[in-house]
């Protein structure tokens, strides 16, 4: 039996601001639906990903900006860094560690993301 992670809630204060941020860096806006006056569900997916994030109203009771350790894997950390900076994101310069190359950024609420290029083992 497969167990697939397909959706992760990211707590935000301003849904439209967060949606604009994530689409600006390349996430696809898959779904935006107001269920009622207490719930709005927005689903966004990074290009090529089998897992999406959701933001909205009534989606999670976690504090906005409390997410740490979200990680995206890319073919080139340097290209990802350049893409983020070109989109106006304050990303860290690429850092090379034994387990890959990384750049880091945060969304407008302070939710923190790592972008990893996997190491090439021969």
Which among 74, 37, 75 has a CA at the least distance from the CA of 57?
37
78-116 tens-digit pLDDT: 999 999 999 999 999 999 999 999 999 999 999 999 999
Q: How many helices (H) and strands (E) does the chain have?
A: 2, 8
User: What per-residue confidence (pLDDT) applies to 121?
Assistant: 74
Asked if residue 93 lies in contact with residue 50, where contact means CB atoms within 8 angstroms, the answer is: no
pTM equals 0.94
Q: Is the pLDDT of residue 122 over 80?
A: no
Which among 8, 19, 7 has a CA at the least distance from the CA of 108?
19
């Amino acid at each position: 039996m497969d167990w697939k992670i397909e959706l992760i809630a990211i707590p935000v204060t301003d849904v439209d601001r967060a949606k604009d941020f994530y689409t600006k860096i390349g996430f696809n806006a898959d779904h935006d639906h107001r269920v009622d006056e207490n719930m709005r569900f927005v689903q966004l997916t990074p290009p090529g990903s089998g897992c999406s994030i959701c933001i909205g109203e009534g989606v999670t009771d976690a504090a906005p900006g409390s997410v740490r350790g979200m990680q995206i894997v890319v073919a080139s950390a340097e290209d990802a860094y350049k893409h983020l900076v070109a989109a106006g994101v304050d990303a860290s310069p690429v850092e090379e560690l034994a387990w890959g190359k990384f750049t880091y950024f945060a969304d407008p609420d302070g939710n923190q993301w790592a972008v990893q290029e996997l190491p090439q083992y021969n």
